[in-house]
Amino acid sequence: MKFPVPQTLSKIAALIDCKFIGEPDFAVLGMNEIHVVEPGDIVFVDHPKYYSKALESAATIVLINKEVDCPEGKALLISDDPFRDFNKLTSHFKAFVPSESAISDTAVIGEGTIIQPNCFIGHNVRIGKNCIIHSNVSIYDDTIIGDNVTIHAGTVLGASAFYYKNRPEKYDQLISGGRVIIKNNVDIGALCTIDRGVTGDTTIGEGSKLDNQIQIGHDTLIGKKCLIASQTGIAGCVIVEDEVTIWGQVGVKSGITLGKGCQIMAQSGLSSSTLPDKTYFGYPATEAREKFKELAYIRKIPEIIKQVNSDKT
């Protein structure tokens, strides 16, 4: 997430009332999670396990809960609670603005696009040409939709990320300031939910087709020409490369990559990345041929036990 105008280190420190290490006029251009940071971004870290990763990342400003040596060319913001202060910055630069109408005056809707009754279209939404948005679709702020997109009834684009910090008294949610981007020629079925990025984008690639009742988590990237069947759940920060096919009731854990052209058979659970052009099945999912061999061996167990008992007698 880039700021509307560049900021300075001292201004950011004043906003969250914290100490800083670096030149007061050090440029601060935005804020992002560690997997999408760029020079000029703030990244936050609040656990020693991840200090090195944050300090060595592309981010040039690190919001951290301990005073450490500042890497050359970077700056530090020293906070007693980086998670809280990251939320403060999101709320400041991406404040929630209530809507006063079903379709915001700031939304831009392309020529030939049809919006059916009872839809909600938030602030700064952009919808391309020749789209069909069916009834009761909710499109949250800042969503970008390309041309020739069809979205069926009851789908929600841009809900908050499922991202929480476990505190002794409660769970604290990390405020979402990212977007959903739907590329050209995408079809999205009924009752799908696609969460916005925390600071970046959740993206559905050109020509991909989503069935009904699919969940796509925050900051996930779906490639071009993917097919995803009903009741699939994909967690946050997943990369689904081009031309992947995912059949019904598949679960995909966060932070993994599904290789180009692979197929995931129905009711599989993926806990690790896949290779391109392979077929996977089961839980935990492995290459389908190997999984089917395992199942064949398991079916033989009663026969083997029976034979062993027979040999004993």
pLDDT(86) > 90: yes
**Do 180 and 78 reside in the same domain of the chain?**
no
State the pTM of this model.
0.92
Q: Name the residues annotated as catalytic.
A: 218
Which element (helix H / strand E) includes 21? strand 19-21
pLDDT digits (tens, 9 = 90+) for 49-83: 999 999 999 999 999 999 999 999 999 999 999 99
Residue 117, both tokens: 């009754």
Question: Of 189, 175, 181, 112, nearest to 142 (Cα)?
Answer: 181
pLDDT digits (tens, 9 = 90+) for 224-267: 999 999 999 999 999 999 999 999 999 999 999 999 999 999 99
What residues are paired with 270 via a beta bridge? 252
Distance CA 253, CA 281 (A): 15
Domain that holds residue 10: 2-93
pLDDT(313) > 70: no
- Helix axis angle for 82-93 and 9-16, nearest 10°, is 110
**Do 115 and 255 reside in the same domain of the chain?**
yes
**Do 206 and 60 reside in the same domain of the chain?**
no
**Do 52 and 174 reside in the same domain of the chain?**
no
Q: Does residue 300 sit within a domain?
A: no
CATH for 24:
3.40.1390.10
Q: Does residue 313 sit within a domain?
A: no
**Do 58 and 146 reside in the same domain of the chain?**
no
Q: What is the DSSP letter of 27?
A: E
Q: Does residue 298 sit within a domain?
A: no
Confidence tier at 194 by pLDDT (50, 70, 90):
very high
Distance CA 218, CA 204 (A): 12
Q: How many helices (H) and strands (E) does the chain have?
A: 5, 34
- Could you give the number of structural domains in the chain? 2
Q: Does residue 303 sit within a domain?
A: no
Q: What is the DSSP letter of 12?
A: H
Give the pLDDT confidence score for residue 299 in this predicted structure: 86
What residues are paired with 279 via a beta bridge? 263
Residue 72, both tokens: 């050359």
Q: Does residue 181 sit within a domain?
A: yes
Listed residues 67, 93, 119: the one ending a domain: 93
pLDDT digits (tens, 9 = 90+) for 259-289: 999 999 999 999 999 999 999 999 999 998 8
Residues with Cβ < 8 Å from 27, sequence gap 6 or more? 6, 7, 8, 40
Give the pLDDT confidence score for residue 89 in this predicted structure: 97
